[in-house]
Structure 1
Amino acid sequence: MTYATVMVSLALDQSNEARLQVAGELAERFEATIVGVAAAQFAPPLYFTDGAAAQSLIDREEASIKKRLADLEVQFRAATSARGGRMEWRSAMDFPARFVLAQARCADIIVSGGQSPAFSDAFALASPKDLVMQAGRPLLVVPDKVNWLDLRSVLVAWKDTPESRRALADALPMLRKARDVTIVEVPERDDDRSVVMAGVTDVAAWLARHGIAATARVSEAGGGETAAAQLEKVAGDVGAGLIVAGAYGHSRFRELILGGVTEYLVTQSIRSVLLSH
């Protein structure tokens, strides 16, 4: 398995430098085609007018969006042309998530930026939370301050769920290029640590059969720390440049309301994160 097509989702109202850099590196490492995608939709104001004034406003706003999409294409081509690989650009006047999800059929992996915990604008931004839930492809979330694809140390945040199993399989091409791989599980309060360790060890053995040496680890009790805080501590200990995790192993509603590992990884992590659902 490899990545033959890397898709990068660009945003009108966020910085795109980090995701372009990482997507370009990813495409270069795997000799993949890189596809840039962007979309936006005119958001009518809360108090709208009608007649000629309304049409004039719509025309101006749509022209502005088309200009900004054209500027994004220029930025995409400038960032990727020096790498010498194959590239494509796709854009539309559409809801960003809907457009990106439709284009995802041609990709092996999607690269996106992270986002703040605040509610995002569906007219201007394809939220990584929506992409990972619906794309059917792994999503690589790149924080704005990340400036390269650091695969020297990769942390696999394991939970014995379908989402984690899928993420691990989706990450195999990157794991093969990593120098160090650590698999960690943060146990629930009532879990038997020996059983948890046996499961993590089983996953390490599975990776070994794919030619990937990995260290199995079970997080120590966190003294009231959340699972996300414990995971971040382990990531710091091993110097992880990338975290691999299953997305929304619990219901998305529960994580949105109560917080959870996926919410943390999308909104707060200082590291790149590969997520699958």
Structure 2
Amino acid sequence: MTYATVMVSLALGQPNDARLQVAGELAERFEAAIVGVAAARFAPPLYFTDGAAAQRLIDQEEASIKRRLADLEVQFRAATKARGGRVEWRSAMDFPARFVSAQARCADIVVSGGQSPAFSDSFALASPKDLVMQAGRPLLVVPDRIDWLDLRSVLVAWKDTPEARRAVADALPMLRKAKDITIVEISEADEDRAVVAERVSDVAAWLARHGVTATARVVEAGNEAAAVQLERIAGDVGAGLIVAGAYGHSRFSELILGGVTEYLVTQSARCVLLSH
């Protein structure tokens, strides 16, 4: 397995430099095509007029969106002009998450920016939380302050769920290029540690059969939230990338109560590969 096509989702009114840099590096490492994609649509104001005045407003706003999408294409092509391989741009006047998720059919992996915990505009931004649920492809979330894809150390956040299994399989091309890989599962208080250790060892053995050497670890759950504990472990091993399953519990539970996926998308200091 490899990545033959890398897609990067750009956003209006958001920094795009980090995700463009990482997507370009990913395409170079795997000699892959790179596809830039963006979409936005006019968001009617809460109190809207009608008639000719309304049409003028719609025309002005749609023209502005088209100009801004064109500016994103210029930024994308400038960032990729020195890179070899096929380069393609796709954009539309559409809801961003819907358009990007549809275009993801042509890609092996989608690169997106992170997202602040604050409310985001679904008319102008393809939220990574929506993309990971809808795109049907692994999502690489790149925080704005990241300027390269650091694969010297990778942390696999294991939980025995279908989402985590899918994430490890989706990350395999990157794991083959990583220097140090740590698989960690945070053991709950009521779990048998030997059973947890067996699960993590199984994952390490599976990776070994694919030519990837990894260290298996079991960590006892502490008083802090699992997401915070996971981030601390990532810092301890110097991880430049975290691999994790997305929304192993219901998304509603994570949205209301908070959870690992929410934290990784909104607050992690490092790149995160998520699969659902």
- 2:233 paired residue number: 234
SS for the counterpart of 1:186 is strand
Give distance in 2, aligned partners of 1:93 and 1:7: 18
Aligned equivalent of 2:92: 92
Q: How does 1:1-277 map to 2 (within 5 A)?
A: 1-222=1-222, 224-277=223-276
Normalised to the residue count of structure 2, the TM-score between the two structures is 0.99
1:132-184, Cα deviation, whole Å (9 max, x unpaired): 01111000000000000000000000000000000000000000000000000
Task: Write out per-residue CA displacement over residues 213-239 of structure 1, whole angstroms, 9 at most, x where no aligned residue.
Answer: 0000011342x1111111111101100
Distance of 2:140 and 2:36 partners within structure 1: 14
1:118, distance to aligned residue in structure 2 (A): 1.5
Q: What is the CA distance between 1:189 and its match in structure 2? A: 2.2
Percent identity of paired positions between Structure 1 and Structure 2: 86
Q: Secondary structure at the match of 2:82?
A: helix
Alpha carbons 1:132, 1:276 under 8 Å: kept: yes
- Work out whether residues 6 and 32 of structure 2, in 8 Å CA contact, stay in contact via their aligned partners in 1: yes
C-alpha contact (below 8 Å) 1:22/1:149 kept by paired residues: yes
When the two structures are aligned, how many residues end up with a matched partner?
A: 276
Name the CA distance, whole Å, in 2 between partners of 1:26 and 1:188. Answer: 35
**Whole-angstrom CA distance in 2 between matches of 1:266 and 1:221:** 21
Q: Please tell me the root mean square deviation across aligned C-alpha atoms, in Å.
A: 0.7
1:11–1:125 CA contact under 8 A, matched in 2:
yes
The alignment partner of 2:6 has SS state of strand
Distance 1:149 1:206 in 2: 25
Uncovered stretches (5+) of structure 2, i.e. residues with no partner: none
Contact between 2:243 and 2:272, CA under 8 Å: does it hold in 1?
Answer: yes
For the residues of structure 1 that align with 2:36 and 2:72, how far apart are their CA atoms? Answer: 9
4+ residue runs over 6 A deviation: none
> What's the CA shift for 1:84?
2.2
Deviations along 1:41-99, one digit per CA (max 9) or x if unpaired, are 00011111111111111111000000000000000000011112210000000000110
Paired residues of 1:244 and 1:275 also in contact (CA < 8 A): yes
Query: How far did 1:119 drift?
Result: 2.0
Q: Is the 8 A contact 2:140 2:273 kept in 1?
A: yes
Shift of 1:193: 1.1
Verify the 8 A CA contact 2:40 2:93 in the aligned structure 1: yes
